[in-house]
Structure formats: structure tokens, C-alpha cells
Structure 1
């Protein structure tokens, strides 16, 4: 049993659950009003499924916009599949929630940002400078454009 509550991962799980619920609503009812999403994801995530030419063009991360044309949205507990056009060519994408880096709905100024939780020593030193924490508590940085956990850190 762990010696501490892993708030970082618990919050990430909650935020991914929120994205799932939003996408389930869109799957059922379509996008309401002027809502639209900018979803940035890690193209190198092992469970991401995109066309080879897209992964070659976007090695590392890619942002898709769910707004004017998309179809076949299929939301599951682990991720979602959607068909979108790239340069007029329709492509099917599978994006697991774990691969999402940012989820933004600019129509209502809402956004979530997931920070990587894998750090080497140099990265941890840089993170410690931004948000100092007690030495015996592992730091797992979480930032969000709308919801920031930094205000709860001591």
C-alpha cells in the first residue's frame, strides 16, 4: 500500500472521465451550439491508431479540430474513434484518453492540459523550481488552463 494519496493520477482520471462524458453526449446528440474541440494527442502513444502518412507528418503530437465535419464518433471507456478529413481525405483515428495532451473548447473558454508524469532527473529538477514540494512527497505536476491544482499545493 502506498504511503500517500496519488492526487495527480486521480485528477487525471477524473479529467479523462469528463472528456469521455462530453464525447458521449456529442456522440448521442451532436455538437450543441457553437461548441467545438481542439484535441492534441501524442501520436507516439502505443494505442493511437492513425494513418501512416499522418504519423509521419506529425511525429510526436497532433491537434485535431472536431467542429465542421466529422463522423462515426464511437466513444468507449478507453478512448474514441472518429472519422475526419485531412486535406479532403477522410481518415479514421483512434485516440485513447491516455494519449490526450490537451482538450479545449474555445467557444466557452474551457480547457484541460495533461502533463507527462514520466520524468528524468533533469526534468524533475526543473519542475521542482516551478512548484516546490516537500522532499518526501513525489511530485506529479498537473496543469490545466481552467482548473489548476497548483493553488492546492503547499
Structure 2
């Protein structure tokens, strides 16, 4: 993302940093005290991120992005300022993963219908016309004030939970 001119407040970048800080705080609390009640997380991340560390067979299987579930069985959750490490079970094979906060694409806690999606801007322009349209049913709202925000300044947003729901 290009540098923000000195006479402009980088709301998108500030919100992005704040929401990643929220995830860090939540995961640190889980590392310290365990998952409370029915809480559980779906975390989708970019497996191509240079600081993501996962087994080669997982990279082969998920060459672009991967969604993990932190719920019933996990071990060794460690959180720091840059990301988190966790061991998860993949078909009776425990695997350690290192996920930088900057690699997270979505963070969802379906037990309380909370979710964030982080837009990756990389090589994209800041022109809203270049952004893809939001998915159907997408809520372009923040939990803080529940007002719509223009897509051009968004780096994080509340996501629709429909894709994580099990069919009845």
C-alpha cells in the first residue's frame, strides 16, 4: 500500500493494526486460560506469507490459503507481537504451525457471530473501482458504530458468517 500523504489520516491502516491487536489479545487470553464456553475460531490465512511456517505437505495441499479451526484439540498455543504458533491435529497427525498476524485473511468466532476479514492490498491500487465487489450477504459494517464505510479505506471488516454455518 502506498505511503499515506502527510495531510491524510490512514484510517484503513490504523483499523487494520487495531483489529490484528484484538486477535492477539483474544488468542493470548485463550493461551493463558483456554477457550471459554462455546467459543471457537476459524482462522483463514495466506500460506504464501514469507513468515508463515507449516509442513510442506500442508503447503502443497493449501498453496494459497488455509482455514484452521481452534476448538476441541489444539496444543502449544503461543502468542507474540508478530503472530502465533499452535499445534493442530490433521487426521491423527499433530502439526505445528506458525501464523503471522499479517497473514490472517479472516478471523471468525461463530459462537457469538463475530468475524473480521482483512483485505490484502499488495499490488492493488487504492482506486475503489479496482476492488472486486463484496460477496453476496457481506456486511460492510464495523461492530463499533454499525455504520457503513466506503470500501476504499477498508483493511478489515466484519464478515458474513453464512459460509461457516453447517446446513440444517
What interval of TM-score do these two structures reach, taking the shorter chain for normalisation? 0.7 to 0.9
Aligned to 1:67: 71
> Does residue 94 in structure 1 map to residue 107 in structure 2?
no
Contact 2:77–2:84 (8 Å) recurs in 1: yes
Aligned to 1:142: 155
Q: CA RMSD in A?
A: 2.3
Q: From the superposition, tell whether residues 19 and 49 of structure 1 become closer, same or farther in structure 2 (CA, over 3 Å).
A: same
Taking structure 1 as the reference length, the TM-score comes to 0.82
Contact 2:77–2:86 (8 Å) recurs in 1: yes
Question: Cα offset for 1:93?
Answer: 0.2
Aligned residue pairs, count: 139
Unaligned stretches of 5+ in structure 2? 135-151, 160-168
Aligned to 2:15: 11
Contact 1:127–1:141 (8 Å) recurs in 2: no
Aligned to 1:56: 60
Unaligned stretches of 5+ in structure 1? 131-138, 147-154
- What stretches of structure 1 move > 6 A for 4+ residues in a row? none
Q: Which structure has the highest helix share of the two?
A: 1
Contact 1:41–1:101 (8 Å) recurs in 2: yes
